[in-house]
Amino acid sequence: AYWPASGELRVENLSARYSSDGPKVLHDLSFHVASGERVGVVGRTGSGKSTLTLSLLRCIFTEGNVYYDGIPTSAINLENLRSNITIIPQVPELLTGTLRQNLDPFDQHDDATLNNALRSAGLFELRNDGDDGRLTLESDISSGGGNLSVGQRQILALARAMVRGSKLLILDEENLTDSPDYKTDTLIQSSLRNELRDVTQIIVAHRLQTIMDADKIMVLDAGKLMEFGTPAEL
Contacts with ligand ATP, residue ranges (CB under 6 A)? 18, 25, 43, 45-51
Cross-strand bridge partners of residue 85: 168
43 binds, among Mg ion, ligand ATP, none (CB under 5 to 8 A by kind): ligand ATP
Cα(9)–Cα(35) distance, rounded to whole angstroms?
8
DSSP strand pairing (61-68 vs 71-72): antiparallel
- The partner in contact with residue 182, picked from ligand ATP, Mg ion, none with C-beta cut-offs of 5 to 8 angstroms by kind, is none
Phi, psi (rounded to 5 degrees) for 52: -60, -45
122 binds, among Mg ion, ligand ATP, none (CB under 5 to 8 A by kind): none
Maximal CA-CA distance, the chain: 51
Could you tell me the smallest distance in angstroms from the CB atom of residue 66 to ligand ATP?
16
* Region of 46-54, 79-87, 145-153, 224-232 interacting with Mg ion (CB under 5 A): 46-54
- The verdict on 50 binding Mg ion (CB under 5 A) reads yes
Check: CB of residue 35 under 8 Å from CB of residue 22: no
Residue 112: how many CB atoms within 10 A of its CB? 8
* Overall residue count recorded for the chain in this entry: 234
Q: Which is nearer to ligand ATP, 102 or 154 (CB)?
A: 154
The minimum distance between CB 37 and ligand ATP, in angstroms, equals 21
Q: In whole angstroms, give the CA distance from residue 157 to residue 193.
A: 16
- Residue 3 interaction partner, one of ligand ATP, Mg ion, none, beta carbon < 5-8 Å per kind: none
Helix, strand, coil distribution of the chain in percent, nearest 5: 30, 30, 40
CB of 204 to Mg ion, least distance (A): 6
45 contact, one of ligand ATP, Mg ion, none, CB 5-8 Å limit per kind? ligand ATP
Contact residues: Mg ion, CB under 5 A = 49-50
